[in-house]
Structure 1
Amino acid sequence: MAFHPPAPTPPGLWRRTPPAIFPSIMGLFGLGIAWRRGIAVFGLPDGLSEAILGATTLLFLFAAMAYAVKLMRRPTVLAEDLRILPGRAGVGTAVLCIYLLAMTVTPYDAASARAILMAGLAVHSIFVLVLIYVLATGPAPQRRVTPVWHLNFVGYIIAALAAVGLGYEAMALILFGLSALMAAFIWAVSIEQFVREDVPAPLRPLLAIHLAPVALLGLVAKGLGMEAVTMGCAGIAGLIVLWMLARLRWLTESGFSALWGAFTFPIAATASLWLVLGGAWRWPGLALLTVATIVIPAIAFKVVQAWAKGQLAVKTNAAIA
């Protein structure tokens, strides 16, 4: 059989914008919000958190514009990106960044934050419908439950967290319940898969995503006054973090890739949860925030660098508009 090289990218700006840029941006948002929590707990100046969030907002808006241009050139390219795992993770996190943008804006302009939150809910719901169609019409292996399903289907829990900050407690409670049920289903299926078969080394970083819903459910529960649930989530998150530390060499065996972006937001969200709990929890929260402050920008820098060099799209097999 003759070898056919991949088709070259046609001329034009941002025809192959890789969705894989967004998980690291989501991690940077999480880092800035975690620093807000840390500053509130330890009474530090708020300059660092707002600098992180400001820079991340600009990066997100630029990346979102680049991906929007790609979609405008050929809207059906979205379905092609959603057929591959890095694409589903990337587009999913791009949508969730809208909720994090709402949380970023809330202290400055609550009205704008509400508008961003509602826009995020609309975009997220459209995304889920398109994803369900792609999964239903694609080959059966695409429908396999993966940690990325948390981003796609449980990500409404971030909307719940934004809603708590804006005073929409009824909305937050509904989203909390639905997200908890979906997360429980994904955890149950994932545990069964993990026991039955090994995870390929390149995909192991995605296992870190399982940590994020635990931390986010705890944060929303805290905002809704469910202290017992918050404490339970904090403890479970601690066990997962300890497991990740014990298996770190195994998780990173295949070396750096864009999928390392999966490490970023979960550790930031967990640091936020522990810091919000306060008391004895604030010290492991501070320790994890310190780790996150080192790790997340380093991963994000390498991913953005790969995007700038044109390598990220090729390595993650991003679709071409």
Structure 2
Amino acid sequence: MSETTAAAQASQEPMAEKPVLARLSIAMFGMVMGIGGLSNAWGAAHRVLGAPLWISQVLLALAVLIFCALVLAHLAKLGFCFAEVAQEFAHPVRSSFFPAVSVSMVVLSIGLRAYALPVAHGLWWAGAVMHFVLAVTLIRRWILHAQDESVLTPAWFIPVVGNILVPVGGVPLGYVEISWFFFSVGLIFWLAFFTIVLHRVLFVPVMSQRSMPTLFILLAPPSIGLSAYLAFTGGQAGALGDILYCLALFIAILLATLWRHVAHGPFFMSWWAMTFPADGWAGASIAFFHARPSVYTQVIAFVALAVANGIVLWIAVRTALHMASGAAFRED
């Protein structure tokens, strides 16, 4: 057999599959955001609507367990598969999911505040510092290197608008001044990036099926922004609160009309991007009902919570099947 023939046959053979550890995606932290965010929404429902507390507690425990497992797994990946981590952080889309780790810390700190205050303080500080470093690093990269608009997705909101979440956990812990810093950065950059993302969605060829669920991230900034604003004002809804509430409601209705276009095709772990924005909308709607009680705000609060539960449950079932088949660890 000639060397040419052997080389041709070798090129036709499938490449050796990377170990599972090397194929873990940082986007898996979206599970912590989705389940932890739903726990916080149920916590708000317990305080405002009289919902059972145990639902929030069970979801919080599950989110903590998943977070610990993912942290250990990704630390192992960092130690044994550093090249794959560096490659993922250099990717124009996947890199935006790294701040999901810091957002997860803040989400868990909000839920744990009532049960383990020192842990909540530690998680909030770790999440805030990590998110600041990642936001500066990624925004600096975007400034120094020209970006391909065709690969832009709403996932870019995660490192930028994740700053808005920090006050939701920080203000009740007493970190008001620091929280104002994060809120200001997140709010102003949200306005800028919303324009950029909307331009990409309207005037650039349609996003891939894998990226379409990230459209739900558009719901996160006004929803989380409303919760942060209510934290600053002690639960008093002013003009800015009304604006954020109405904008979040409009985006939620718009996404509902796009549901069949967003959630179709093969399942990917990126679908978890739909969960946290829905959770945030539910929590913000419940908080706004508490601030401005009426039949309308009450109905919207119940609907938002039901929608968040439905989305998280549906995606959790799809994820279990996805993992059982092994496909979750073969996503390219």
TM-score of the superposed pair, with normalisation by structure 2: 0.86
Deviation at 1:16, TM superposition (A): 2.6
Does residue 292 of the first structure (1) align with residue 308 of the second (2)? yes
Q: Is the 2:42–2:51 contact (alpha carbons within 8 Å) kept by the matching residues of 1?
A: no
Deviation at 1:213, TM superposition (A): 0.9
Query: Who is 1:313 aligned against?
Result: 329
Secondary structure, aligned partner of 2:254: helix
Measure, in 2, the Cα distance between the counterparts of 1:137 and 1:73. 30
Measure, in 1, the Cα distance between the counterparts of 2:112 and 2:150. 36
Deviation at 1:143, TM superposition (A): 9.4
* 1:95-244 matched pairs, under 5 angstroms: 95-131=102-138, 140-141=147-148, 145-202=152-209, 203-225=211-233, 227-244=238-255
Per-residue deviation, residues 165-191 of structure 1 (Å, max 9, x unmatched): 212222222211110011111101112
Give the 3 Å change call, closer, same or farther, for CA 51–45 of structure 1 in structure 2.
same
Q: Percent identity?
A: 21
Per-residue deviation, residues 9-29 of structure 1 (Å, max 9, x unmatched): 25xx73332223221321111
Q: Is the 1:88–1:148 contact (alpha carbons within 8 Å) kept by the matching residues of 2?
A: no
Query: Who is 2:74 aligned against?
Result: 67
> Could you tell me which amino acid in structure 2 is paired with residue 8 of structure 1?
E
Structure 1 runs of 4+ aligned residues shifted over 4 Å read 1-4, 132-139, 142-145
Consecutive unaligned residues of structure 2, counting only runs of 5 or more, are: 1-7
Consecutive unaligned residues of structure 1, counting only runs of 5 or more, are: none
Q: Is the 1:83–1:135 contact (alpha carbons within 8 Å) kept by the matching residues of 2?
A: no
15-24 or 110-119: bigger deviation: 15-24
Q: Is the 2:97–2:158 contact (alpha carbons within 8 Å) kept by the matching residues of 1?
A: no
* 1:267-278 matched pairs, under 5 angstroms: 267-278=278-289
Query: Who is 1:264 aligned against?
Result: 275
Secondary structure, aligned partner of 2:22: coil
Query: Who is 1:9 aligned against?
Result: 18
Measure, in 1, the Cα distance between the counterparts of 2:157 and 2:147. 19
Measure, in 2, the Cα distance between the counterparts of 1:136 and 1:182. 13
Give the 3 Å change call, closer, same or farther, for CA 223–56 of structure 1 in structure 2.
same
> Could you tell me which amino acid in structure 1 is paired with residue 53 of structure 2?
D
TM-score of the superposed pair, with normalisation by structure 1: 0.88
Give the 3 Å change call, closer, same or farther, for CA 173–135 of structure 1 in structure 2.
closer
Deviation at 1:270, TM superposition (A): 0.3
Deviation at 1:133, TM superposition (A): 6.8
Let me know the Cα RMSD of the aligned residues: 2.5
Measure, in 1, the Cα distance between the counterparts of 2:330 and 2:93. 12
Structure with max Cα Rg: 2
* 1:243-254 matched pairs, under 5 angstroms: 243-254=254-265
Measure, in 1, the Cα distance between the counterparts of 2:149 and 2:90. 7
Give the 3 Å change call, closer, same or farther, for CA 209–79 of structure 1 in structure 2.
same
How many equivalent pairs are there?
314
